[in-house]
Structure 1
Amino acid sequence: MSPSRPPIRPAAERNIASYAVDLAAALGARAAFTLTGGMAMYLNRAVSTHPGLTAVYNQHEQACAAAAEGYAKATDYRGAGLAVVTAGPGVTNTITSLCSAYGDSAPVIVLAGQVKTADIDAFGTRTHGNQEVRSRELISPCVKRFTRLTAAGFREELVETFAEAFAGRPGPVFVEIPLDVQNVVLDYAPDDIEAAVVAIRARIAAQVGPADLAALTEALTWLLGAERPLVYIGNGCRLAQVEAAARGFIEAHGLPAVVSWVSIDQLPTEHPLNFGAPGGMAPLSANQILYRADRVLFLGARLDLGTTAFQRQDFGAQAERVMIDIDPSELAKFEGMPGTRGVRADLKALPAAVAATRGQSKAMAADWLAWCEARRVEYAADERRRLTVDSLNIYGVAQRLSAWSPGKVFAPTSSGWAIEAFFRFFAPREDARIFFGASLGAMGLGLPQALGASFGTDKQVICVEADGGLMLNLQELATLAHYAPKGFVLFVLNNDGYGSIHASQIRHFGAAGGASRDSGVFIPDYGKVAPAFGLRYLRIDSLEALDALLPTLDADAAPVFVDLMIDATESRGPSVKTVISPDGKLSSTPLSDIQW
């Protein structure tokens, strides 16, 4: 959280709405992603008159909340992503993006309008106030905390709610402010906002204690006693802001490490101790190493069913496994599994635990690291041989963007072939950052998340979307063109449809429906669409053309739309296969048996 001193507003404009906006800004929000509405009029005014905030007017509330998620991720979860929406449809339109931020633990603050307190339904009618919905019931499952402000207790409610966005496992919070509460005149000064920030920080810091240090020190010591140790670095390390400590631990002891998909940038690909991301779509070498280790320490990794190919109990189960997580619900998934122990601890204590184990001896076998390296080299050569082609495919695109990645932030799409293939093959270099909506995998969130990221970082932001996914938030091309973040590049992986769905349907049913132009999905000519929004458009049909383009994409230039006309189908590399038994039951091939 990087505080910014709130403005001294005119007395007539100091009200509860402006207080909430000023406090969110003091928690690191440099932009507010919003769409104006009558039930949020005082919130809208507070945003537009705050000199330290850029008011970004999106074209849809789904994009507002998605942009706030992208902003928070671009700050490495250290700053609050702020969205401001109106009541009713403004609230309901945020739900998909809130579910994405909730699953991905992004500290997002949503300030939402509501009808006057007296007009809120108390009778159980289907519809009562103007644009009123049952927001508490709809939103509560999608956020860490839902709060409806009252004039009497708003200060403490805001402190508790905003602290919840960052405390423990971070996540989105939702503050609903009825119209009559928004405009309650309030006498406050910058010092009052700073005092609230201090109170929020105190609530967050109070969660870390000596027990966390003891538990983490014991877990690190346990791992050092292994002959074939392996560290699995999850996104919890970034959420706890201990990426450097995790890296320092493996480097101090020379331990091999693997990463989750959403953590592939915590260690650059060229790091000698980084052996990739094991899972259902992964290099053979990463899975081979996972299934050869005798002790695996999982640091803040929730091991979702997509990562483990619905085989969580089998994910490195030949080894002793210790799972470190702050969320007891995540640890509950592993209860009763043989050789597996869950440890609830806050990874914020990891730096002290690493320091406590500095200088300790390790029992690692002399040939373990060499064996891991041999598997990596062997697989990398095989992958290049199998997937290098002359045509424009996602593998070739990912290889080139990887080499071009240092110092840039990538926000790719969240679902389909474009993520399954691109993220699978993207290899971030040092000082590159990449994230996507991993937990929900919602189509269409790539562009608004990337737009949010462009306001949360000074680095060049690159969006890698799919042609089908872009259609779900096509209106945000207007936002991109209007605010024109410097250096922004929108790469669209264009295969004229839903490549992943098409391949799956053909594989299972021998025919496709609603997945391509021939089967009912029409994707327009982006060469006509992009200029209609005032965007520079480039069509790329070959790897040679892409090679020539990349050096010309200046970090200070206006945004550009790059249409990559990729192969309709290509290999995603080794992956699990879905098996359908004669009685129709679905199962996956074992992770340990993944082949090309």
Structure 2
Amino acid sequence: MAELQKKNGIPPIQFGEEVTGAETLLRCLILEEVEYIFGYPGGAVLPIYDSLYGSYFKHILTRHEQGAIHAADGYARATGKPGVCIATSGPGATNLVTGIATAQMDSVPLVCITGNVAQSLIGTDAFQEANITGITIPITKHSYFVRDIRDLPRIVKEAFHIATTGRPGPVLIDIPKDVANEKAPFTYPDKVEIRGYRASLVPSDKEVQEFVKAVSEAKRPVILAGGGIIAAQAEKELRDFAEKTRIPVINTFMGLGGFPGTHELSLAMPGMHGNYTANQALLNADCVIGLGARFDDRITMGRTKEFAPKARIVHVDIDPAELGKNVDTAVTVAGDVKSTLAKAIPLAKACESEAWISQLKEWKEQYPYKYKKDGDVLKPQAVIELLYNSTDGEAIVTTDVGQHQMWTAQYYKFKHPRSFISSGGLGTMGFGFPAAIGAQIAHPDRTVISVVGDGGFQMTNQELAIVSQYNIPVKVAIVNNQCLGMVRQWQELFYDNRYSQIDLTCSPDFVKLAEAYGVKGLRAHTPEEAEAVWAEALAHDGPVVVDFRVAQEENVYPMVASGNTLDQMELGDD
């Protein structure tokens, strides 16, 4: 903390000094080593913003509260640190709800600070009053309503502790205006003690021994590595364990980057739009080792009895509520995957699975991701391949939700954790672009690419103002098929080509839109143009929007239709 204060010129904090609730909040954030705040002011948070005036904090004024929370989310996912956002009462607070739910579903640590009307007005339907703590109870790890300034330091300390320990998630602190204006001597607790909250981390020796025994007995094992690998910073342990045991690794959508996509043991992503080999591995494995994965319906297809029908399920998760929730398990370990693997590696031995690995290698060679090229027609898959090849897989890539999201997961081979940032559980359109802003702020020296659709981009494209104002060099790649692509694909396949309300041909000229914000705009219609404009975009030292005009009726394959099982994959028209 002392180094951070010296680096940023923060004056020493005087304990015992009488300060307002707003100043108390900011001092607490300093002690939690917060540097960036994303937010949008309003009447109920004016005391907080007045205290922010001239302060050390780097505040990013987004153009919508949803942009603020998605940017804080992107910052958190890119760093592992909690993201912080502020919104005013009423509509300001409720505009955070989608972002809070997004973070909750994907286990992202956020501390969301909202203002509220004075306590004397609570319950009177006062101007811009909303019960935001009540609204967010189902989508936060915890919500606080601050009634007394003397409770505020403890609440902030607890909020950061809850958000970042155990299974990470968002915490909301709602501060009435009278509490923000009230004064009290400043204090801050040294430690957190919350009755009933114990973030279990280290598994028991017995659990680890049972885990190792189950793995050692397998002849056709496969690891299903989820987002918990990344949250626990267990990528090294996973790689060491996989290489020592010679067990192939499947990364869930949220786990992409937790194990290198270029590794010989990588089987890529499973599920609805997963790799043929990954799905076959799950169907034929005799042991599926779930590490920080939820076994959600995009992998099991909701047909849990038919999922991995030949396998014993071994499940490691820091959240005991996930163990046995979606699939029947033979062995469970309630604990942090990093600690579990660290204790398991010395006990583990190489599995007798070379014949199994040989079979998987054969499937990988026979059924890779593929698409049909068509002369000068720019295919969306080719765009993602271009992004990957031009960056050697070293960029941080954020996505919105839809077809482009799946093509990115398929064709960009993520090598590192925290390099793929996408809304997995909630599937939030509008997430990708502001999340890229947060990721770029967190890593100013890395290439950050926001892959978005022409639909989702229009939900938060007002945040172009931020990248222009602060010269944040995010590269926006719009996979523009002039329609709601994933909806169109489902309507084609399951609704007899009845295209209902998916036409986006009246979207703005994205190049002119970018230029209106003072951002460089480029466009490509053909593979040749795509290479040229993308090279120009990467060479530019500021933000760029590239409008890739791709084939409109291209579908995402492989695909397992809803209600089917993993053995009922459609590999595509070819």
> Scaled by the length of structure 1, what TM-score is found?
0.88
The Cα of 1:555 is off from its aligned counterpart by 7.1
Secondary structure of 2:299's match? coil
Match of 1:179 in 2: 177
Residue among 420, 423, 434 paired with 1:434: 420
Q: Which deviates more from structure 2 when the two are superposed, residues 310-319 or residues 97-106?
A: 310-319
The Cα of 1:237 is off from its aligned counterpart by 1.3
1:145-201 CA distances to partner (integer Å, 9 max, x unpaired)?
10012223222222222211012101000001111111233444xxx65xx4x5259
Answer whether contact 1:64 1:83 (CA < 8 A) is retained: yes
Q: Say whether 1:153 aligns with 2:165.
A: no
Match of 1:132 in 2: 129
Match of 2:569 in 1: 594
Q: Which runs of 5+ in 2 are unaligned?
A: none
The Cα of 1:7 is off from its aligned counterpart by 4.1
Structure 2 CA distance, aligned partners of 1:242 and 1:429? 14
The Cα of 1:274 is off from its aligned counterpart by 0.7
Structure 2 CA distance, aligned partners of 1:544 and 1:114? 54
1:57-108 CA distances to partner (integer Å, 9 max, x unpaired)?
0111111111111110010x2x110001111111111101110011011100
Structure 1 CA distance, aligned partners of 2:418 and 2:129? 43
Aligned ranges for residues 178-257 of structure 1 at < 5 Å?
A: 178-188=176-186, 196=189, 199-200=191-192, 207-208=199-200, 211-257=203-249
Q: Say whether 1:516 aligns with 2:521.
A: no
Structure 2 CA distance, aligned partners of 1:431 and 1:237? 9
Distance 1:69 1:210, change over 3 A: closer
Q: AA paired with 2:155? A: E
Q: Say whether 1:65 aligns with 2:69.
A: yes
The Cα of 1:210 is off from its aligned counterpart by 5.3
Match of 1:27 in 2: 32
Structure 1 CA distance, aligned partners of 2:200 and 2:346? 17
Distance 1:203 1:351, change over 3 A: farther
The Cα of 1:365 is off from its aligned counterpart by 3.1
The Cα of 1:301 is off from its aligned counterpart by 0.3
Distance 1:22 1:371, change over 3 A: farther
The Cα of 1:547 is off from its aligned counterpart by 2.2
The Cα of 1:593 is off from its aligned counterpart by 2.7
Structure 2 CA distance, aligned partners of 1:287 and 1:303? 13
1:318-361 CA distances to partner (integer Å, 9 max, x unpaired)?
111112222233224246x3x6444322324235313432xx43
Match of 2:355 in 1: 367
Aligned ranges for residues 434-473 of structure 1 at < 5 Å?
A: 434-458=420-444, 459-473=446-460
Structure 2 CA distance, aligned partners of 1:178 and 1:3? 33
Match of 1:378 in 2: 366
Structure 2 CA distance, aligned partners of 1:86 and 1:465? 29
| Seq. identity, % | 26
Answer whether contact 1:498 1:515 (CA < 8 A) is retained: yes
Q: AA paired with 2:84? A: L
The Cα of 1:217 is off from its aligned counterpart by 4.3
Q: Which deviates more from structure 2 when the two are superposed, residues 544-553 or residues 90-99?
A: 544-553
Match of 1:584 in 2: none
1:534-582 CA distances to partner (integer Å, 9 max, x unpaired)?
111101112222223444444770101111101102131221124xxxx
Secondary structure of 2:92's match? helix
Q: AA paired with 1:589? A: N
Aligned ranges for residues 251-330 of structure 1 at < 5 Å?
A: 251-330=243-322
Q: Say whether 1:481 aligns with 2:486.
A: no
Secondary structure of 2:149's match? coil
Q: AA paired with 1:142? A: I
Q: AA paired with 2:64? A: H
Structure 1 CA distance, aligned partners of 2:318 and 2:450? 31
Match of 2:346 in 1: 356
Distance 1:243 1:2, change over 3 A: farther
Q: Say whether 1:345 aligns with 2:342.
A: no
Match of 1:565 in 2: 549
Structure 2 CA distance, aligned partners of 1:113 and 1:202? 24
Match of 1:582 in 2: none
Structure 2 CA distance, aligned partners of 1:361 and 1:340? 20
When the two structures are aligned, how many residues end up with a matched partner? Answer: 561
Backbone CA RMSD of aligned residues: 2.7
The Cα of 1:595 is off from its aligned counterpart by 3.2
Structure 1 CA distance, aligned partners of 2:351 and 2:451? 43
The Cα of 1:204 is off from its aligned counterpart by 13
Q: AA paired with 2:262? A: E
Distance 1:366 1:495, change over 3 A: closer
> Scaled by the length of structure 2, what TM-score is found?
0.91
Answer whether contact 1:229 1:364 (CA < 8 A) is retained: no
Structure 2 CA distance, aligned partners of 1:13 and 1:455? 34
Q: Say whether 1:424 aligns with 2:410.
A: yes
Structure 1 CA distance, aligned partners of 2:453 and 2:184? 47
Residue among 4, 11, 20 paired with 1:15: 20
Structure 2 CA distance, aligned partners of 1:495 and 1:427? 23
Q: Say whether 1:85 aligns with 2:87.
A: yes
Distance 1:214 1:352, change over 3 A: farther
Distance 1:473 1:576, change over 3 A: same
